Amino acid sequence: MADQAIWSEAREMAIYRPGQKVEIKHRLGVIDTVIAYDPMMVPPVMLANDPQARYPEELILVSQPTIAFDWRHPWAKITNHPQIPTSRQLVKA
């Protein structure tokens, strides 16, 4: 039973990660951002623009577009930046 509680807590931490957009159920239409999930606090979810911490049951997740991930450069966002020339490419001036 304890293992199941730990799994549930880890799952919530992954879902309510900082930056996740949420909507408070009793204030529909108002979007807020999760700034922290602290399993040692009750309630555990802290929001950027709400002074009161919230329980996950009070929140609706707002879907966010997925971000492409380049495993060779995990710190870089994939955008339409010009390629950096390599020794095999001609540099256009």
Asked if 43 contacts 55 with a C-beta cutoff of 8 angstroms, the reply is yes
Residue 11 pLDDT:
86
Residue 66 pLDDT:
59
Distances (CA, A) of 70 to 16, 76, 77, 85: 24, 8, 8, 18
Collapsing DSSP states into helix, strand and coil, what is residue 25?
helix
The answer, yes or no, to whether residue 51 has pLDDT greater than 60, is yes
Q: With bands split at pLDDT 50, 70 and 90, how would you rate the model's confidence at 10?
A: confident
What confidence tens digit (pLDDT) does each residue in 59-77 have? 999 986 655 555 566 555 5
DSSP 8-state assignment for residue 84: P
The whole-chain average pLDDT of the chain stands at: 78
C-alpha–C-alpha distance, residues 47 and 51, integer Å: 7
DSSP 8-state assignment for residue 78: P
